[in-house]
Amino acid sequence: MAMEAAAQSTLHIAIIPTPGLGHLIPLTELIKQLSRRHNFSFTFLVPTDGSSTESQTSLLQSLPASIAHAFLPPVDLSDIPAGSHLLIRVILTLTRSIPALRDSLTTLTGSTRLVALIFDVLGSPALDLAGEFRVPAYIFYTCSAMNLCSAFCLPKLDLMYSCEYRDLPEPVHFFPGCVPVQGVDMVDPVQDKKNEAYKRILDVAKQYHKAAGILVNSFLNLEPAPFEALMQNGDGIPPIYPVGPLVRTGLEHGLAGLGCCLRWLDKQPSGSVLFVSFGSGGTLSSDQLTELAFGLEISGQRFLWVVRNPNDMSLSAAYFDPQLCSDPLQFLPNGFLDRTGELGLVVPSWAPQVQILSHSSTGGFLTHCGWNSILESIVHGVPLIAWPLYAEQRMNSVEVTEDWKVALRVKPNEKGIVEREQIAGYVSRLIEGWEGKAMRERMKVLQGAAEAALGNDGSSSKSRNEIAHILMTEGKSHESLNKI
């Protein structure tokens, strides 16, 4: 396995993500910042199940020379039953990669001054590796502080309630001050206690206390109550470091689609375009895709829509392979592209999201409420239509709609379909209604708070510098222990 070794004089940190581009992107942003501002070198050790790694490879190859990467040997997941929850596949990819991780870390200790391991949100099953190599382990939490609150509360909730969370008559209060969450809006893997995914996520949560600290991709002024609850709660919660918002600052992976999107946006009035995208992993059913198309058409509003192949079996069918597509435009209603040609631009599979959200013509974002997309919206001041699909996205939608009040949340019918007339209404209300104007103003306030948090004296910059100082001082201490 080829690995670019850092100089022996440089403190080295190994980064262990779990599969999924949405997890890898914020991790790379964090490591780029640490690399620019502090004297560390890094190696990403990436577990894989053998599915396409094209997007991940492109992202990792774009990093500075001080940040190396290696893909671990693919693990065999052929024994996982068809239809198993996405989380099982993600966690098993990590846990079955532990022997290869151990070998890679052994190699690193022979060629670098390894002083710490950083795992992502689902990496806690491998935390014991840090003990083996006598270095501290940190969790980089790629979700919200509210989501982290729910993770620390989950073991207690498991003992408190025997019924399914979705059947609870009252909302769940994770910690005082946090916005209450209906059981049905808790993270997707906990919605069936008999499912293996529930046992896996419960085990992940129970191991968080082993971390030397948790770095959260959020900022104090965005989630003051959740952060206060986490930082002041001594019940086994490690030190918490808000370091966000960590969002993409450049192109996602390649130049495809950049020019046509920006040229089209340049011709549109300011704040007039709704950007429609369900992230790198989200998919809609065939019926829902049709309803969305007609809803956009009926609204009469300008839109830029990233269309992916529909999937009637899974809302996260593209999670492991964001490139998965044939010709998604063939699934649109007959004549749709001709009828909407004056108002809309439809692009297949991928578009430069950061550049679109930062464009002056973009006035709203219909999103699956992935945490990365929410943070990117905040950084660029764009209000939302919240359309959660899987994972923690329903909980995220509670924050953006009920806490921050910067989004409209869609309401599916009894068959789980958001109908075209409703979609048209949401779009019109956001782009040209008084609600959209009010949400836009509130989002601008959050945008300013995000900018302040990342400033030289901002709360997130201070947290990042603090953790870097700890890694340098404690890392050297752990290195000395290794020599005893």
Residues catalogued as catalytic: 23, 120
Instruction: Return the bridge partners of 347, or none.
Output: 306
Q: Backbone phi, then psi, for 448, in 5-degree steps?
A: -65, -40
Supply 73's token pair: 């040997």
Nearest in space to 104 (alpha carbons), one of 7, 19, 14: 14
Rg of the chain, C-alpha, whole Å: 22
Rounded to whole angstroms, the Cα distance separating 253 from 208 reads 32
Nearest in space to 141 (alpha carbons), one of 85, 218, 232: 218
Sheet containing strand 273-277, strands side by side: 344-348, 302-307, 273-277, 362-367, 384-386, 407-409
Amino acid at 427: V
Rounded to whole angstroms, the Cα distance separating 165 from 171 reads 9
> SS3 letters for the chain?
CCCCCCCCCCEEEEEECCCCHHHHHHHHHHHHHHHHHCCEEEEEEECCCCCCCHHHHHHHHCCCCCEEEEECCCCCCCCCCCCCCHHHHHHHHHHCCHHHHHHHHHHHHHHCEEEEEEEECCCHHHCHHHHHCCCCEEEEECCCHHHHHHHHHHHHHHHHCCCCHHHCCCCECCCCCCCCECHHHCCHHHCCCCCHHHHHHHHHHHCHHHCCEEEECCCCCCCHHHHHHHHHCCCCCCCEEECCCCCCCCCCCCCCCHHHHHHHHHCCCCCCEEEEECCCCCCCCHHHHHHHHHHHHHHCCEEEEEECCCCCCCCCCCCCCCCCCCCHHHHCCCCHHHHCCCCEEEEECCCCHHHHHCCCCEEEEEECCCHHHHHHHHHHCCCEEECCCCCCHHHHHHHHHHHCCCEEECCCCCCCCCCHHHHHHHHHHHHHCHHHHHHHHHHHHHHHHHHHHHCCCCHHHHHHHHHHHHHHHHHHHHHHHHHC
